[in-house]
Amino acid sequence: MSRRESPIRLIRQAGIGAIMLATAGASLAQPASDAASAASAPSAAASVASLRRPSRLDLNDPSCSPKYPNRALVAGAHGTTVVQFTVDEHAKVIEAHIVQSSGVTREHRLLDAVTLEAMAGCPFYAGQDDAGRPVGGTFTGAYRW
């Protein structure tokens, strides 16, 4: 797949970090333990194709930018936190979790928590199926510290 066709894209780069997003059916640097879940990705991609308008989130909203925690900054902690969100047909987050941590230290866990909290605060918008009914979706995003 060429860079232009990739479902994974850099959405916004601001300040210290960068946010990337993959819609359902795509993946961002999955750990080896997620190999089984990656096998289900083609079915997720097929379900996205039947949508009139897929669910989306607005990463340009200022509430989506996590603030670099001072403790992590002083410790020099950096890395990429990958998070996954599932939203319902009302665009409410019903599940959010860390897919890949930015590192192993206490400061990295702090970066992960701040990323999850900030990205969960992003505005989500429900999609529509072919019949015009609202549908939810799953998003995987990465924040590079």
- For residues 107-118, one letter each, b for 16 or more C-beta atoms within 10 angstroms of the residue's C-beta and e for the rest, the string is bbbbbbebbbeb
pLDDT class for 52, splitting at 50, 70, 90?
confident
pLDDT tens for 75-112 read 999 999 999 999 999 999 999 999 999 999 999 999 99
Domains and CATH numbers, the chain: 8-144 (3.30.2420.10)
Q: Exposed, middle or buried: residue 129 (CB in 10 Å: 0-12, 13-18, 19+)?
A: middle
pTM exceeds 0.75, yes or no: no
Q: CA geometry: angle at 99 spanning 30 and 5, to 5°?
A: 45
Lowest mean pLDDT among 12-16, 52-56, 80-84, 131-135: 12-16
- For residues 21-54, one letter each, b for 16 or more C-beta atoms within 10 angstroms of the residue's C-beta and e for the rest, the string is bbbbbbebebeeeeeeeeeeeeeeeebbeeeeeb
